[in-house]
Every structure is written in C-alpha cells, then in structure tokens.
C-alpha cells in the first residue's frame, strides 16, 4: 500500500480502539485520507498474514492463539498510519501497556447506539450471544479501552462526517501527539 506517509517519510502512528460498531474502520479510513496517511485494519492484516479468516483462526486454534498472533502483530507494528485494532486487543495486559504509550484514540459510543449498528450483523459475537451478554462484555472492555488510550472521543452522532470532524478537532487540539 503506497501512501503519502511513506513518500514523505512520516512516522506517525495513530491507533484506534473501541467496541465493535463504534466506527473504527469507517472513521479510520476517512481520517487516514484526510491526514494523508495509510489505513490499516489489524484484523485484516492478521487474515492476510495467516491466510485464514478470523473466524477460522478461532475455530481451528482457539481465542488464545488468535490473541497471541494479534499481540505479536501489534507489538512489532512499524508502519506509519492510522491503525484500527480489533475489539479484543485490550484483553492482554502487555497490549494495553503498549497502546497507552502510543497515540491511541478510544472511540466510544453509548451501548444502544452500538447495538443498533451491529444487532443484525453476522459477527460471531452477536450471533452467539444475547444482547445482555454483549452489554456485559461492552462494560468490561470500556475500562480497558480507557486505560489503553491517550485520547477518548465520544461518538454518539450517527453522521459519519460529524464524527470525523470531532476526531480531527481532538487530534489537532492535542499537544502531545507523537510523530
């Protein structure tokens, strides 16, 4: 993937974390475009590297193996750009510690907004659990996302460009972005 960040030699990395359906991919792609950076989705990178879907990795090797692969990829990530992390990346202590020392943005939204976006999806977590189960996981992970981030942004707007503008303003106002 060729991006201006490689051409200009920029080293900026911004990691996006948050629960499924919060908008990490849609906002991440738009943010990367607006900032002239590459966009990466760690789950897609894992699938490419392992030549298996995330669901297949879980089915064949289990969640522990997936989390090991995910953690190894994160801890050795050296490409500049906007990096969307998987929803469970914060389950491992070393990942939380790593992310809190980087430019990590926690994209947060109310559970009901997220649920409205994902309730009819074919995501395994949605298909295999009740709304209450997903809500409990959301609550558990919220604390981990907060611990792992340097910036938290509440995205309760359903309009993408409003959320993107909010993220851009927050980044521009942050004085300690690491380049």
CA 18, 152, 16, 33 torsion-angle sign: positive
pLDDT at residue 8, rounded to an integer: 47
pLDDT at residue 2, rounded to an integer: 56
pLDDT at residue 39, rounded to an integer: 96
Which residues of the chain fall short of a pLDDT of 50? 6-9, 178-179
How many angstroms separate the CA atoms of 13 and 177, rounded?
Answer: 9
pLDDT at residue 159, rounded to an integer: 58
Helix/strand/coil for 29:
helix
Helix/strand/coil for 40:
strand
pLDDT at residue 138, rounded to an integer: 96
How many angstroms separate the CA atoms of 108 and 79, rounded?
Answer: 25
CB 126 within 8 A of CB 134: yes
How many angstroms separate the CA atoms of 142 and 170, rounded?
Answer: 20
Cβ within 8 Å of residue 117, ≥6 positions away:
21
Alpha helices in the chain (DSSP H): 4-7, 24-35, 42-50, 54-75, 93-99, 111-118, 124-127, 131-148, 160-173
**Token couple for 130:** 């009740």
Nearest to 141 by CA among 60, 22, 13: 22
pTM for the whole structure = 0.88
pLDDT at residue 88, rounded to an integer: 93
């Amino acid at each position: 993937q060729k991006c201006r960040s490689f051409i200009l030699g920029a080293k900026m990395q911004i990691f996006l974390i948050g629960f499924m359906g919060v908008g990490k991919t849609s906002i991440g792609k738009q943010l990367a475009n607006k900032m002239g950076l590459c966009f990466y989705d760690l789950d897609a990178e894992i699938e490419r590297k392992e030549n298996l879907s995330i669901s297949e990795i879980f089915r064949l090797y289990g969640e522990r193996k997936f989390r090991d692969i995910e953690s190894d990829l994160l801890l050795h990530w050296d490409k500049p750009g906007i990096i969307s992390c998987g929803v469970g990346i914060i389950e491992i202590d070393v990942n939380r510690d790593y992310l809190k020392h980087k430019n990590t943005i926690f994209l947060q939204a109310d559970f009901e907004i997220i649920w409205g976006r994902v309730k009819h999806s074919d995501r395994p977590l949605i298909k295999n659990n009740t709304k209450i189960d997903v809500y409990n996981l959301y609550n558990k992970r919220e604390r981990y996302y907060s611990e792992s981030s340097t910036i938290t942004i509440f995205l309760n707007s359903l309009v993408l460009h409003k959320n993107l503008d909010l993220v851009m303003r927050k980044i521009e106002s942050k004085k300690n972005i690491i380049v």
